[in-house]
């Protein structure tokens, strides 16, 4: 008897994660590093240390080195479910940043950041340069998240802070990004790395970058909507509820229902999750009960614990 193999990690999904990582690397490595406009998270922290070293340490290599201890910490705290996609995501992203910047031996000739178009934007249309960088960054991260990947960094910190201390992920990421941007701004200001633009101006550009890229991430993941409401009907409602609570840290509600055709009473699971967690929710439900009936609704706004207000 031939056993059907359930492919958990299709090759096409990893290809999509790699493509998203390459787009993100273009945004960071080509448009943002030399502009000294720092995104949040580990990529921004790596850029700060890159400036602190006098540009001698490659940004991608620094990102990878900084992500390794976070990855190990996350593996210990969060389990193995996130491991492979996370490692692939931040490793490919780090590689492509140094590849496009010509910081990998044998590929020094590439240096796309030195192309005439990028240099012209850097000197004559700085805002448009940052806008393009934020588009590449947001679209790349959106694709990675859509295919259940991650680039580690602040995502891991936020998940651990939520699990251990109950701190909302959005608050953790916001605090981390603000700290990284402020730290980079101090380095740029003290070392006078950008004589043409004050460090405070570059910090404001960085906040603009975060706003644009975060909006694009939401759009790429699943349109313009904010969150999703899931109605789940299954013979294994209790197990599905427990798994959503334990693995996603999201609340669920059991609603008593009655099938009009069968006249059978049962409980329906109701849960609201951010868009980036929808694919994870569906995966959990199908792992527990492949025959579960799942309805996903658009949600315009959610007010309550675990969700930010729409802007």
Task: List the CATH number of the domain containing 241.
Answer: 3.30.70.120
| 285 and 204 within one domain | no
- Predicted TM-score (pTM) of the model is 0.68
Last-in-domain residue among 222, 249, 272: 222
| 25 and 155 within one domain | yes
Last-in-domain residue among 196, 222, 248: 222
For 132, left (φ over 0), alpha (ψ -120 to 50), or beta? alpha
Give the three-class secondary structure for 58: coil
**Residue 18: exposed, middle, or buried by beta-carbon count in 10 A (0-12, 13-18, 19+)?**
buried
| 209 and 295 within one domain | no
The pLDDT of residue 5 is above 60: no
**Crossing angle between the packed helical segments 126-146 and 199-222, to the nearest 10 degrees:** 40
Lowest mean pLDDT, pick from 130-144, 231-245, 271-285, 296-310: 296-310
CA distance 258 to 255: 10
Using the structure block, give the residue that is written with the tokens 């805002």: 127
| 247 and 117 within one domain | no
Domain range spanning residue 234?
227-299
Q: Are 184 and 48 in contact (CB under 8 A)?
A: yes
Domain count, the chain: 2
| Degrees to nearest 5, angle at CA 278 with 261 and 88 | 140
> Tens digits of per-residue pLDDT, 10-43?
788 889 889 999 999 999 999 999 999 888 888 8
Domain presence at residue 307: no
| 92 and 31 within one domain | yes
Domain presence at residue 139: yes
Nearest to 163 by CA among 222, 98, 247: 247
Last-in-domain residue among 180, 206, 222: 222
Domain presence at residue 214: yes
Q: If pLDDT is split at 50, 70 and 90, which confidence band does 168 have?
A: low
| 254 and 179 within one domain | no
| 234 and 183 within one domain | no
Domain presence at residue 236: yes
- Consecutive H or E run containing 31: none
Mean pLDDT rounded to a whole number for the chain: 82
| 103 and 21 within one domain | yes
């Amino acid at each position: 008897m031939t056993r059907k193999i359930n492919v958990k990690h299709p090759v096409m999904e990893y290809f999509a994660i790699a493509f998203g990582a390459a787009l993100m690397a273009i945004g960071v490595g080509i448009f943002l590093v030399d502009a000294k406009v720092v995104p949040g998270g580990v990529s921004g922290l790596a850029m700060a240390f890159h400036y602190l070293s006098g540009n001698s340490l490659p940004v991608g290599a620094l990102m990878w080195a900084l992500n390794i201890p976070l990855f190990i910490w996350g593996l210990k705290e969060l389990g193995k479910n996130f491991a492979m996609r996370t490692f692939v995501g931040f490793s490919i992203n780090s590689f492509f940043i140094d590849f496009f910047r010509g910081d990998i031996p044998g590929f020094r000739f590439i240096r796309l950041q030195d192309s005439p178009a990028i240099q012209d934007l850097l000197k004559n249309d700085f805002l448009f340069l940052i806008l393009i960088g934020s588009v590449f960054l947001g679209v790349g991260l959106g694709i990675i998240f859509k295919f259940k990947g991650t680039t580690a960094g602040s995502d891991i910190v936020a998940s651990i802070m939520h699990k251990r201390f109950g701190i909302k992920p959005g608050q953790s990421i916001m605090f981390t990004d603000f700290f990284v941007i402020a730290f980079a701004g101090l380095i740029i200001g003290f070392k006078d790395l950008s004589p043409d633009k004050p460090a405070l101006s570059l910090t404001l550009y960085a906040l603009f970058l975060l706003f644009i890229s975060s909006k694009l991430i939401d759009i790429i993941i699943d349109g313009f909507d904010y969150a999703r409401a899931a109605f789940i009907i299954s013979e294994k409602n209790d197990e599905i509820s427990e798994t959503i609570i334990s693995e996603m840290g999201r609340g669920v509600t059991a609603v008593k229902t009655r099938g009009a055709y069968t006249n059978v009473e049962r409980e329906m699971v109701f849960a609201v999750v951010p868009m980036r967690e929808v694919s994870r929710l569906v995966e959990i439900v199908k792992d527990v009960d492949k025959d579960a009936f799942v309805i996903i609704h658009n949600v315009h706004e959610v007010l309550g614990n675990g969700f930010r207000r729409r802007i």
